[in-house]
Amino acid sequence: MSTASSLAQLPVANAPQPLYAFTDSPLLQRQQQQESNARSYPRRIPLALKRARGIHVEDVEGRQFIDCLAGAGTLALGHNHPVVVEAIQRVLADELPLHTLDLTTPVKDRFVQDLFGILPEALRREAKVQFCGPTGTDAVEAALKLVRTATGRSTVLAFQGAYHGMSLGALSLMGSHGPKQPLGALLGNGAQFMPYPYDYRCPFGLGGEAGVKANLHYLQNLLLDPESGVPLPAAVILEVVQGEGGVIPADIEWLKGVRRITEQAGVALIVDEIQSGFARTGRMFAFEHAGIVPDVVTLSKAIGGSLPLAVVVYRDWLDTWKPGAHAGTFRGNQMAMAAGSAVINYLVEHRLAEHAEAMGLRLRRHLQQLQRDYPQLGDIRGRGLMLGVELVDPQGKDALGQPLANRDLAAKVQRECLKRGLILELGGRHGAVVRFLPPLIISGEQIDEVAQRFAEAFIAAV
């Protein structure tokens, strides 16, 4: 089998022909006519899917695709994994209650014990858990209410490039202007933004260790200077690897510094692990790379084993809110909890965190080999199986001397990938980052196939 390494030598004219040509099926036509203008994925990935297993999906016309989107990271074990299917079927066969609000059940108790069992010891011994409405954005809303209640302070410090959900409170913490501009003030002055340590395009124009030190110095000054002009916030919220923001991994020393500064200032630290959690980055939770203990962790996506579920785990010093302070009708999804337990146990038993790290390194090596011949691959980054490739125009430079982001090339690459049976999503500033989020069960040979198809598509697009 050819790999991306060998394909890097192919001239554009010799790039393999696309495998698929796409036409609008009746399902896609009706979707366009009847669904909201706010729909997003179908505009870039015009597929009508009917069957899925493992890392593959099949559309209504019988074409198969490798799914490197995986429900935006939701499908840790891929589609219809046997342990997930068995867990769901067992709930149904045993006539267990499917809807319990926040009443407990043996399934729920087992899930909580399994979840606490994978938390780092320093967090586990102080942990409380709040079940939320079944989306990550509701977990973020709960976290905001939690820290505001506990501290008596109202502002929250977030980071440029952040994505924490699409409800009004979470949206206030988003770096991207687009979804916020039509909506007005949102939380008003309740959100304050800081530069994120984006090394490739350092906001301080420094990069490397100097950029990290400047960033931490700025944060420390902001929180501890009595005349900074910024009220002491209730919390700082961050992603250890920014996902939608362009798969940007935070520097490990920066994470340690943020934790040290927030503790010194008496500010809660919220870590959003909604996409990066559950072994995706090579650790069970991404914050474990830095050895820090957050005050609050928001969890969703993979936690429900492909079914809707979201929780907030937090240290008990914050547990000052009153009964009913956060609620939601669908916070008792028993099938999701059973599936979540099955996924957690499978991740641990099969050491999928270590596997994700190894497969991420394997994919990165393929991409770096391609990069040697194509300067349009500007930056390759991420952790584990949460990787991104920033596509650039080598002929143009930004104010810091880096090549300009190339949105058009990224869109072309995504379309060419789809023609070759590879589903990838875009993100980052200007939509110029191609993102890889495959199921964690992906094999080495399948990684090679992903790299091959990407290389073919990329060569066809440049």
Looking at residue 114, its pLDDT comes to 98
Looking at residue 5, its pLDDT comes to 37
Q: Any idea what the CATH number is for the domain that residue 162 is in?
A: 3.40.640.10
The pLDDT confidence band at residue 11, using thresholds 50, 70 and 90, is very low
* 258-263 long-range Cβ contacts below 8 angstroms, 24+ apart: 258/216, 258/219, 259/290, 259/292, 259/293, 259/294, 261/216, 261/219, 261/220, 261/223, 261/224, 262/223, 262/236
Mean pLDDT of 98-112: 95
Which residues form the domain of 273? 84-349
Residue 168 belongs to some domain of the structure: yes
Per-residue pLDDT for 296 more than 70? yes
Q: What is the pLDDT of residues 108-165, one digit of tens each?
A: 999 999 999 999 999 999 999 999 999 999 999 999 999 999 999 999 999 999 999 8
**Residue, of 273 and 181, whose pLDDT is higher:** 273
Mean pLDDT of 369-375: 97
**Residue, of 264 and 1, whose pLDDT is higher:** 264
Looking at residue 1, its pLDDT comes to 37
Residue 155 belongs to some domain of the structure: yes
pTM: 0.93
Total of domains in the chain = 1
Sequence-ordered strand ranges (E) for 294-376: 296-299, 311-315
Residue 241 belongs to some domain of the structure: yes
CA nearest to 269, candidates 414, 146, 413:
146
Per-residue pLDDT for 177 more than 80? no
Residue 220 belongs to some domain of the structure: yes
Mean pLDDT of 45-56: 95
Q: What is the pLDDT of residues 308-342, one digit of tens each?
A: 999 999 999 999 999 999 999 999 999 999 999 99
Cα–Cα distance, 32 to 30 (Å, whole number): 5
Residue 63 belongs to some domain of the structure: no
Mean pLDDT of 173-187: 70
Residue 3 belongs to some domain of the structure: no
Residue 146 belongs to some domain of the structure: yes
**Residue, of 28 and 363, whose pLDDT is higher:** 363
Residue 72 belongs to some domain of the structure: no
Question: In 10 A of CB 429, how many CB atoms?
Answer: 18
